[in-house]
Amino acid sequence: MTDLYAFSHLIKNHPFYKKHRDGVHQIYLRLAKAKALNVANIMQMVETLIPEMMFTLEDSHAMLDRLTEQFIQRKLEGIQFTVYGDEIYPSSCYLMADPPLILSFRGSPAWLLERSLSVVGSRDPSFESLRWMEKELSDFCEVEKALIVSGGARGVDQKAHGIALRKSCPTVVILPSGLKDMYPNTLAQWIDPVLEAGGCFLSEYDHEQTMHKHLFHHRNRLIAAMGAATLLVEARRRSGTLITANQAVQLGRPVWVVPGHPQDPHFAGCLDLLSEGATMVRDAQDLSMFFHSELISEKVAAVGVGGLDGLPH
């Protein structure tokens, strides 16, 4: 890839990145806010902020030409960007060991609402799980008007997005692909409803990146980070849903689990998580109680932390 995402990959894997992280973030911040970009502008930023980086880029003018052209074209197409350190970058991403330098999105930066719940589960959920969502998650959304975050996949993901839209809640669809060819392709019919509800489609990949299996792991870590908590509706053992749950735990996020019958393999992963200390959720009342408790905990933890001083270095 020869666009801004390839550029960020180049930077993050260069030896000077850890040493000059703040300078790199300033470059991305200026790129995102620039009204006009060209190679000369970028090189001037680099030379001013990180002179050592010039040796890497001196032979990359052709790449930078393509980079700036594509960056401007994306903006003309309605694609927005946020970079590490700017005012709309998701604060939860700072919890990651390897946060994205840049994210692209179509729609509104709904994550700024901060009242968010990530919902994950099976692509082939049981009737009981769908019925539980239709009653309990619907009631939760009706009362809390929370932001619902999920991955857009068929099954539990799309059910969660759909419930959010019906209850006039914004929803964030985090993609395992770029924004041009969204995966799954059925998401095309969701664009207008999601945007009209104040939500967005979010990706950390190249605009034209197609879906690949290994991208789901990175997508799942964003889902785990973007919610104040992660709700598992149904999960087998060794499923992608459990990967998301484990990533939430690593980020210090609570994991809430809808229990199932102990002999039903569709819920084996959920029951394993409960035995490991996850919190059981029975109904909308439980969801609201835990949700408010977590929001209060986050506010307490945030006291005294503000601006870029709280960012990892």
How would you classify the pairing of strands 102-107 and 200-203?
antiparallel
pLDDT at 184: 96
Q: How confident is the model at residue 247 (pLDDT cuts 50, 70, 90)?
A: very high
CATH number of the structural domain 110-302: 3.40.50.450
Please tell me the distance from the alpha carbon of residue 75 to that of residue 78, in angstroms, as a whole number.
5
pLDDT exceeds 90 at position 213: no
pLDDT exceeds 50 at position 308: no
Q: What is the pLDDT of residues 93-117, one digit of tens each?
A: 988 888 888 899 999 999 998 899 9
Strand, coil or helix: 205: coil
Tell me the pLDDT of the chain averaged across its residues: 86
pTM of the entire predicted model: 0.86
**CB burial class (10 A; 0-12, 13-18, 19+) of residue 264?**
middle
118 — phi, psi (to 5°)? -90, 135
Q: How confident is the model at residue 134 (pLDDT cuts 50, 70, 90)?
A: very high
- Domain locations along the chain: 4-76, 110-302
Percent of the chain with pLDDT over 70: 84
Identify which of 166, 133, 168, 172 has the alpha carbon closest to the alpha carbon of residue 149. Answer: 172
Contacts for 229 with CB less than 8 Å, ≥ 6 apart? 117, 118, 248, 253, 254, 255, 256, 290, 291, 294
Please tell me the distance from the alpha carbon of residue 29 to that of residue 83, in angstroms, as a whole number.
6
CB count, 10 Å around CB of 277?
A: 8
Give the chain's length.
313
Please tell me the distance from the alpha carbon of residue 187 to that of residue 139, in angstroms, as a whole number.
25
pLDDT at 306: 45
pLDDT at 312: 43
pLDDT exceeds 90 at position 300: no
Please tell me the distance from the alpha carbon of residue 303 to that of residue 306, in angstroms, as a whole number.
8
Q: What is the pLDDT of residues 146-174, one digit of tens each?
A: 999 999 999 999 999 999 999 999 999 99
Which of 184-193, 260-269, 292-301 is least confident?
292-301
Q: How many CA atoms lie within 13 A of 200 on its CB side?
A: 19
Strand, coil or helix: 262: coil
Q: How confident is the model at residue 269 (pLDDT cuts 50, 70, 90)?
A: very high
pLDDT exceeds 80 at position 212: yes
Contact 163, 148 (CB under 8 A): yes
pLDDT at 47: 80
Q: Please report where in the chains the tokens 């960007």 appear, as a residue.
A: 81
Q: Please report where in the chains the tokens 């009981």 appear, as a residue.
A: 128
Q: What is the pLDDT of residues 76-92, one digit of tens each?
A: 889 998 888 788 999 99
